[in-house]
Chain A
Amino acid sequence: MAQQSEWEPKLLGFLCRWCSYAGADLAGTSRKKYPANIRAIKVPCSSRVDSLLIIKALRLGFDGVLVSGCHPGDCHYLTGNYRARRRIAITKKFLEYLGVEPERLQASWVSASEGGKFAEVVTEVTKGLKEVGPNQLFSERKLDGTKTKAGS
């Protein structure tokens, strides 16, 4: 992690279109400062985010994933974020057990009016990612000699 000073983490955000995506917009229009590390994907609801999307993002080399939806009780579809909460909770705990740094999967509740909170969350998550460094989870590293050159 020698080049940490120049390195900027890449964060992928899955933002619910009804709240967090609007919250991100608001943060922009009201000139709240937050790191430019996040790339946002608009999703219809935080419950749209299957764990596959999260893992795939990490596989593709994103350093972290942020899933953000409406506050519990405020879901446009009434119960979507409750379901998202269960799924993200088990995914987060399970990835942690496997050895994925907890900073790499973050989740938050940000409403359409919380531009400030959105900026804070992204700042905090980006800071966390800078601390854990680049995502090398799926990069080809030394493996014990099971698949050697002559073996394949």
Chain B
Amino acid sequence: MEQKLRQEAKALLEQNKVDWIIGFEPGSLKFTATPLITRDKNDTERLIINPFIVNNLADFLTGIKGRVGIVAKGCDSRSIISLIQDNKIVREDVVILAVPCPGLIDLVKIERLAGKDRDELDDISRDGDKVTVTVDGQKKEFAINQTLFDHCLACELPTPQEYDILLGEPGPPAPELEVSGQNIAKLKEALPAERWEFWQNEFSRCIRCYACRNACPACFCQRCFVEETEPQWVMPVPRWQDNLIFQIIRNIHVAGRCTDCGECERVCPVNIPLRSLAREMYGIVDELFSFKSGMDKEALPLMAHYEQEEAEDLFK
């Protein structure tokens, strides 16, 4: 798959079909991949595909000028389509190099299972439904569903539907919705006041680095409401109240654009369970309006469309 990707990417640049290639290259730490954004055909030799290509590369599309060949997993492809729906990018300017994705390995889960930090592990390898972690020369085996990101367990589109070049064979979806939704289900059992207090505590450690927003392909506003000063919607001060409002509004603003790619939660340096917000909003949108973002490039965006009869039970 990697060889084919390198050839195709190189060809795209050589034949001047794209100006840029966005993909992954090996990261500087163990078990990491890092985005590679290049116009140099020689760089394509470094392109890789492995279970650690975690970033949603669609995030870079709105900040780049020119035609782009982009490596896309299922979730990335949904974000790309969502951007097309919103007229942020033009389909013709993107060459989608589709990667059938069997799920990405969540190093936080691995660390918990192995009882060691990621840099203390010798090896992580996947073989079908098993993941083998080698620590101090000893092998430990785990079921794949224990080790994948929550959002991968809920993946509805492992292989992009919309693509120009398909790399490898499409895999079947491997949804483990129950596991994936555990955190949300548990929260819902709590009383409203307890839930609010839960979020209050979680957001009291937010440092307002805006990594969640900046890593989110759906957050493409040139100017975010948090940066408005007249009026000052929220204070640019990491107080839990303002932090929480920021995140509530962010989720509402990306409703119908969020594809549950899980990046917000992955990038958070202070471990706020942001996917438990994003996924719930994803569910609300689906439940109320049968809308799933990034599935159909011809569909109108959620907020640009309506039905005569919907959600009426919420209105007096």
Binding site for B on A (CB under 8 A): 51-52, 55-56, 59, 72-73, 79, 82-83, 85-101, 106-109, 121, 124-125, 137-138, 141, 143-144, 146-147
The smallest beta-carbon distance between B181 and chain A, in angstroms, is 13
Task: Establish whether residues B192 and A99, one from each chain, have CB atoms under 8 Å apart when the complex forms.
Answer: yes
Given contacts A86-B311, A99-B193, 16 further A-B contacts (CB under 8 A): A55-B249, A82-B306, A85-B315, A86-B289, A90-B252, A90-B288, A93-B284, A94-B284, A98-B277, A99-B195, A99-B196, A101-B192, A106-B316, A121-B316, A144-B204, A146-B204
Q: Which residues of A contact B248 (CB under 8 A)?
A: 51, 55, 94-95, 98
Docked CA distance A99–B193 (Å): 6
Give the nearest-CB partner of B240 in chain A.
A143
Q: Are A89 and B314 in contact (CB under 8 A)?
A: yes
Kindly list chain B residues whose C-beta atoms are within 8 Å of the C-beta of A93.
Answer: 284, 288, 314
In B275-315, which residues have CB < 8 Å from any A CB? 277, 280-281, 284-285, 288-289, 302-303, 306, 308-312, 314-315
With A72-B308, A94-B284, A100-B196 as given contacts, are A124 and B314 in contact (CB-CB < 8 Å)?
no
Which residues on B sit within 8 Å (CB–CB) of A92?
A: 314
Q: How far is the CA of A93 from the CA of B313 in the complex (A)?
A: 12
Question: In whole angstroms, what is the CA distance A108 to B315 when docked?
Answer: 5
Which of A55, A99, A125, A144 is in CB contact (< 8 Å) with B245?
A55
For A88, the chain B residues whose CB sits under 8 A away are 314-315
A-B pairs with lowest CB-CB distance, top 5: A99-B196, A99-B195, A82-B306, A108-B316, A89-B311
Q: Are A107 and B315 within 8 A (Cβ)? A: yes
Return the contact of B306 from the options A85, A124, A125, A144 (Cβ within 8 A): A85
Indicate whether B201 reaches chain A with its CB closer than 8 angstroms: yes
A74 to B315, CA, bound (A): 15
- A137 CB contacts on chain B under 8 angstroms: 196
B247 to chain A, nearest CB (A): 10
Bound together, the chains give a CA A103 to CA B102 distance in angstroms of 44
Task: Give min CB distance, A145 to chain B, whole Å.
Answer: 10
Q: For residue B309, which residues in chain A have a CB less than 8 angstroms away from its CB?
A: 72
B241 at the interface (CB under 8 A from A): yes
Find chain A residues with CB under 8 A from B306 CB: 79, 82-83, 85-86
Chain B count of residues within 8 A CB distance of the other chain: 45
Q: List 13 A-B contacts (CB under 8 A).
A: A52-B225, A52-B249, A55-B249, A59-B241, A72-B308, A86-B306, A90-B284, A94-B251, A97-B284, A99-B198, A125-B316, A143-B201, A146-B201
CB distance from A72 to the nearest CB of B (A): 7
Residues in chain B within 8 A of chain A (CB atoms): 187-188, 190-201, 204-205, 225, 233, 240-241, 245, 248-249, 251-253, 255, 277, 280-281, 284-285, 288-289, 302-303, 306, 308-312, 314-316
- Determine chain B's interface SS by DSSP, over half rule: helix
> In angstroms, how far is the closest chain B Cβ from the Cβ of A87?
7
| Shortest Cβ distance from A93 into B: residue | B284
Q: How far is the CA of A96 from the CA of B277 in the complex (A)?
A: 12
CA A143 – CA B197 in complex, angstroms? Answer: 9
In the complex, which residues of chain B have a beta carbon less than 8 angstroms from the beta carbon of A101?
A: 192
* Shortest Cβ gap from A133 to chain B (Å): 11
A50 nearest CB across to chain B (Å): 8
A147 to B240, CA, bound (A): 11
Q: A101-B192, A146-B205 are in contact. Are A94 and B316 (CB under 8 A)?
A: no
Cα–Cα, bound, A149→B312 (Å): 48
Residues in A whose Cβ lies below 8 Å from that of B277: 98
- Whether B252 contacts A97 by the Cβ 8 Å rule is no
Assembly CA distance A56 to B225 (angstroms): 12
Most buried by B among A90, A92, A107, A121: A90
Does B314 contact A107, Cβ atoms closer than 8 Å? Answer: yes
Contact B196 A85 (CB under 8 A): no
User: CA separation between A51 and B234, bound complex, in Å?
Assistant: 13
- Which A residues touch B285, using CB under 8 A? 90
CA distance A98 to B200 in the complex (A): 10
A58 CB to closest chain B CB, in angstroms?
Answer: 9
Closest B residue by C-beta to A56: B233
Evaluate contact between B303 and A109: CB separation under 8 angstroms.
no
CA distance A109 to B315 in the complex (A): 7
A114 and B7 alpha carbons, distance in the complex (Å): 69
